[in-house]
A and B are shown apart, each in its own frame.
Chain A
């Protein structure tokens, strides 16, 4: 079945780094744009980053620009988010989602906690 599974979350100190992964299955990954969306505890959804099917177009929210890097490996059906210089305000559940005019498929999310 169509599925996205995130991994890589955890507890990290301010200023630290973390790499999130999202494994896709059940569809032709290379045909779709993909995104990372986050949700801070008790808060709403925030569109963090976005990558085109080929990887040639990339977007970052201002809140993460210069610190986060999105990438994908179509041969491995995988999406990544490299997060550097992490701050307390980056604490959130991070979801990967497939974009096809809307976010039609979501992963279960992975929790990232930035705290000393």
Chain B
């Protein structure tokens, strides 16, 4: 299966909101409510930020929110902070015990 499509980079100023899109197909994002988002700082392991499209794990700031419409999922970060600068990856279940990641988006906080 092909990787989900994410913008290579996004940027925003502290306090602003940004949205990262994740476009798949009717075979993955569009078919399952199993889209998740991961934050990865340089040299670190990824960290789960959103699961099942819009749910936040315990301990994740409510500045992070997720949504889905059709074959596209989105991650919104409000009230941008310097520590939000990282790479972000979406992931979707694609059926038959398979899954697919997006190519990743580099978030720069200006």
Chain A residues near B (Cβ < 8 Å): 37, 44-47, 50, 52, 57-59, 95, 101-104, 106-109
Contact = CB atoms under 8 A, between A and B. Distances in A.
A52 B96 CA distance: 12
Interface stretch (B9-17, B18-26, B41-49, B77-85): B41-49
Interface in B17-67: 34, 36, 38, 45-48, 51-52, 57
B3 to A, nearest CB: 7
B69 interface: no
Given A59-B97, A101-B52, A106 B102 contact: no
Contacts of B34: 101-102
Task: Summarize B's interface: helix, strand, loop or mixed.
Answer: strand
Most buried by A among B3, B45, B48, B99: B45
Contacts, number: 54
Contact of B48 (A47, A103, A107, A108): A103
Contacts of A108: 45
B23 to A, nearest CB: 15
Contact of B102 (A44, A58, A101, A103): A44
A51 to B, nearest CB: 9
Nearest to A106: B45
Interface of B: 3, 34, 36, 38, 45-48, 51-52, 57, 89, 91, 96-104
A-B pairs with the 9 shortest C-beta distances?
A102-B36, A102-B51, A106-B45, A59-B97, A44-B104, A45-B101, A47-B99, A44-B103, A104-B48
Given A47-B99, A50-B97, A107 B3 contact: no
